[in-house]
A and B are shown apart, each in its own frame.
Chain A
Amino acid sequence: MEEPVKVAVDENQEYVINMGPQHPSTHGVLRLVLALKGEIVKNVEPHIGYVHRGMEKMCESITYPQIIHLTDRMDYLSAHINNEAVCLAVEKALEAEIPDRIKVIRTIMSELTRIQSHQLFWATFGMDLGGLTCFFYGLRDREKILDIFEETCGGRMIVSYNCPGGLMYDIHPNFQKRVKEFIKYFRKILPEYDQLLTGNIIFQERTRGIGRLSLEDAISYGVTGPTGRASGFSCDVRKHEPYSAYDRVKFNEVLFSEGDTFHRYLARMEEMRVSMDIVEQLIDNIPEGPFAVKLKPVIRLPEGEYYQRVETARGELGVFIISDGNKNPYRIKFRSPCFSNLWVLNLISRDFKIADLVAIGGSLDLVIPDIDR
């Protein structure tokens, strides 16, 4: 017989409410069990696994080129960067020489992916705080990047543009022109974002000093990405362990020390500017060359363990492959950024109000399929 379900948090007469799995502000099927005292959050208990698809297990039975299309579905907002991580790991294992053209195009695409992800963050964060107009502004501009993707890759959100050894297709002839147009457009639009949300007094009141994450906690919980950098944790993989073409561009790592919701938001806004700088440096100097190198038709990694980490829009994504020499991996493990970032939620939102919890949750910028995989 099954044991009766124990009541986990009810001893101090706390008001327990179930936020999610279907809730407008959990951005997916995340379930949070909140213990409240009046409006004040006393405990947050995240329950995950509602979109668990057994991705790592599925990877064990498919080939490496097929795995790439699965990784799109983890953090669907940085699909391209996820693909890149697996490709880099495979290429590292095969010790394949990757031409510069591929590296540069991958970097440009990654940065565009980052920009559109942060645009969506801005859109949904505004919506979490009740500013519904932000949502439409954010999506309007994101559409422009998706159009560029569509033209080059065929896909919009789930691009699947990478393959081991290079790219699926060459860039579209319009690609450079349209990217430059977009950068020019978006540089003009970004101040509008600031006017609508960043400078708003209500917004600042709602986010400043809320959900402070200290540097020590950020490091010990393994919080990466803009969330970690807002707390002063220098964790930008692009800077510390440059992959693709990041070693040939100049950019600054966005670092803040406050670690509150406002600075997590600000870190992303700054990162959009940094990403535009990176794209601008590369877009005119895409070297000539092939868009893919020929690998063997059936890719078998030599026996051994391979690890590659990349910086997605949410933080550090690690791909760990154990190969036994077969055409599919023996075991694959993804170190996904959202999974690590989620667990600070209880720590930093305790003793704040429900409305703050929503703001903090929004500022962590969680993508639930990335947590559940």
Chain B
Amino acid sequence: MSAKKALLAAVRGFALGTFSLIGSSLLLVLTLLAAALVPLGVGTLLMPPLLGLVRRFADLRRLAAARWYGITIPLAEYDPGPAGLPAVGPARTLRLMADPAVHRDLRWLPVDMTAGFLLAMLPVALLSNAVQGIALPLGHWRVVADGADYWYLFLPVGGQADAIGAGLLGLVVLYLAFRYNDRLLAAHFTLTRAVLAPDRATLERRVAELARTRHDAVGASAAELRRIERDLHDGAQARLVAMGMSLGTIETLLDKDPAQARKLLAQARAESAEALAELRDLVRGIHPPVLAERGLGDAARALALRTPLPVEAHVDLPGRPEAAVESAVYFALSEMLTNVVKHARATRIWLELGHRDGMLRLTVTDDGHGGADPAAGTGLAGVERRLGAFDGVLAVSSPTGGPTVVTLEIPCALSSPKTSSC
């Protein structure tokens, strides 16, 4: 309890309350106006800078909370959007309006102009009422109550006796102001934190999801390594051993039985060709060469050409996603096409691959008999797990009788296309 603190809180609270009432209500009205104008297009130019102002307004409050009360309000994690997204316009506006951090900022404005304003103004109200009450028995009531009814809080003041009562009440109010002013202003910032800080449950859900997808991704890559090891061990390695043995035998047979040696030589060459073919398949399974050479767009076209069904491919990728995403999408597409060929009894496939608003979208449609169920243990479940590590999602629509549409979405940015130096 300190007079200085109470006074300081009153002064700060008064300034803050005035500032927050004007700022919050102005920003709220403007944002609502701009939001109403979004369908007309003008709003998409106004929204981003306005939301930027709201963000700065909230940051000022964070600063005050930290400076005055050491209350830390966590900084909002705004979604920066993909590289190259224009600063204003429909794409940016849509992205901002979908951002939970922006939602929190906007929810905070009405709270700040009502409850926040009241809490900030209470210290100064208490203090000024106390001063008024104490001033009454000193004769002040005569000046103000000249002829009219005069009330102090809930006391009618008609004479000196009333004024002394009011003075006592004023002392009580002064005590309250000394005791609580500081806490009232602190409560303002606690309220601000409650509204502005990210919701804990959301964070916990996100952490759980990340833990699960990371676990899946690590498991998948370990399984992949085991498969590669087994393939090498049983394939190319074994063939090289066999070739070495054949060559050893040939060495001894060269003089004794040239005919037999020649036969074994042909065999050894066939073995080496087999080993090469196996290694080629293995490499394709690890990282398809066409992906390394041409990127996802052409790799998708190459996959379409490899598919034993006619595939109509529409690819529109102005740049390249990062290598890990490319690879995940390539194998997903490969799995989707294989599924169609194996299970759908389709005669045609349509493939669409594009990038919009920071999302890579792949759609594979077939005219087969439908009824595909991703939960029924097809390769699609594996594809989904693999995509999870990149926050990618897979949607399957496959009514009985077809058509089946599998859509994959994965958030990613594109780099500008590389140009060959030669």
A and B co-occur in one complex: no
Residues on B facing A (Cβ under 8 Å):
none
